[in-house]
Amino acid sequence: MRPIACNRRNFANRLTMPSKRYIAHSQSFANTIGSFHPGRSRFLVFLITLCFLGLAIRAIWIAGPGNAFYQQQGDLRVRRQLDVPPTRGRILDRNGHTLAQSLPAGAIYLSPRQMVSSDKYTGLAEALGMPLTEIEAASASDRGFVYLRRQTDAATLEQVKTLALPGVGTVREFKRVYPSGPPFDALLGLVNLDGIGIEGLELALNDRLKGARGRSVVEKDRLGNILSQLVIAEAEDGGDIHLSIDERLQTATYQALQQASETVKARSSLAVVTDVKTGEILAAASWHADSSKRRAAALIDAFEPGSIIKPLIVAGALELKRVAPDTLIETNGRFDFAGAKITDVRNFGQLSVAGVIEKSSNIGMVKIVSRLSPDELWTHMHALGFGRKADSFPFPGLGSGRMHSARGMTPITQATMAYGYGLTASALQIAQAYAAIGNRGQLIPLTLERRPAGSETRGTQVLTPATAEAVLAMLERVTGAGGSGRQARVNEYRVGGKTGTAYLHVPGRGYDKKRYRASFAGVAPLSAPEIAVVVSVEDPSEGSHFGGKVAAPIFAQIVSRAMQLRHVVPDAPPAEANIAR
């Protein structure tokens, strides 16, 4: 076999010389390109140019007019606008003691979209004292924000922050607290979790207490950590409100009600104390055997007052000069009137008008009221505040009671009104009327807010001073040795008032002759009256049910405490040891 001759020149020529196949393919491609129609080439160039132009226009839009939209979308991912809650105003008693205030707290929330595996949140469940399953359920929400715990204490908040878990955050809020406890529960009411009043004075005064929310913008990283915060509008804190209530007297009144009511196994009880000169309500306490019932009965409940209405009816007859304190009235124990039989607890014989009040004679009262026309009776009672809401007195549920119109009165309804049936009134209305008697016949509008020191309080003259003085003298006889209210007496102070015992009316069944309301209303001290007090105990079921035995001792305890707190100089010599101190 002949060897192939090979040298460097031949080898180089072979490497640089294109193959016949390569030359053929190149010529084919050139022919193909050359075969394109010029219009097709231009169309291809046009399409490419159009695409680049569209991209350029899009870029200009994003950088120009459309920038705000994309900026907003970006901000939504890293920025959030938050409400800044204001501090709700405090509620203070007349001496500046705090009755309600808002303390700093916080809420713990989840952002489900930012959360990671649920097993990372075991520490959070332990810190909050809740099952991990609850956190897992919250994380499954399609909302971007879910509360886990509201109004959390500072220690728990700090513990949660230390965990630094993705999707877990805290926001500032406040927790409302009531340091004075049960004596104020029904009066003050409640706020909801957002700090808005929903009951009692919290609701009535909400607009002044709530303040105005502020706004801030926060920037967060992808784990939800706050990187920066910008305040847009400062929160405006709510205003403080000074009540006319004396915290010490309110507590003493509540405790007196509770102790007496538990002793006689009553269903509920209430008491109101007012300043006769200013109309300020110094105490308004409500007690109920069922502690879950938060009802400000002292302010809103209307009831048939029974015999505590009698001095007010007599005041009208005195004012119109139909009777005088010494006018004699025949009471024979039984009296037929307009087809009804009116009775007394016993035959008192002949009594003066003052004696009718002292002995609480129903027959004497019917004979006195019959000397007034329906229109005269209605006008007098309406002037004293019955059948209408208290003037300028904001409280949810406050009613006007019920009283027959003059046209709707019959002889028998007029007669029953004389001893406290057939009309209803709240303890507030009764206290205001008694305060007018203690204030020389001037009716002062009631208020739950402290009046400015030295301010002049104007009222309406509904009785002459002479009539008011005459009624006060009758009230003192009730608490004297021969009266039904002896247990209302207070050591070293002259007091006057009226007992009342009424059957309870059961809807659909009429009056239950085995269930009662025991009441007492009066003023003190008689030499220069400062306060009017109304006490009423509903359905005492053990022991006595009479107003003089159940409600009068409560009145004595309240007055005794009020005289001490107000530093009232005694106006009577010390008496027996069994009188309230």
Q: Residues with catalytic annotation? A: 307
Rounded-to-integer distance, Cα 562 and Cα 577, Å: 19
Nearest Cα to Cα of residue 488 among 414, 566, 571, 554: 554
Q: Strand 91-92 and strand 241-242: pairing? A: parallel
Rounded-to-integer distance, Cα 465 and Cα 459, Å: 14
483 contact partners, CB below 8 Å, separation of at least 6: 358, 359, 477
Region class of 301: left (phi > 0), else alpha (psi between -120 and 50), else beta: beta
Rounded-to-integer distance, Cα 348 and Cα 330, Å: 8
CB 97 within 8 A of CB 183: no
Tracing tokens 């303040």 back to the chain, one arrives at 211
Encoded tokens for 461: 């003259």
Cis amide leading into 525 (omega within 30)? yes
CB 546 within 8 A of CB 307: no
Q: How far is CA 476 from CA 510, 547, 568, in A?
A: 34, 16, 18
First to last CA, the chain: 149
Region class of 397: left (phi > 0), else alpha (psi between -120 and 50), else beta: left
CB atoms within 10 A of CB 205: 23
Query: What's the sign of the alpha-carbon dihedral 360, 466, 489, 304?
Result: positive
Encoded tokens for 363: 């027959």
Q: How far is CA 202 from CA 210, 294, 333, in A?
A: 9, 13, 51
CB 244 within 8 A of CB 449: yes
For the chain, state the CA radius of gyration.
Answer: 42
Distance of CA 488 to the CA centre of its chain: 33
CB 298 within 8 A of CB 286: yes
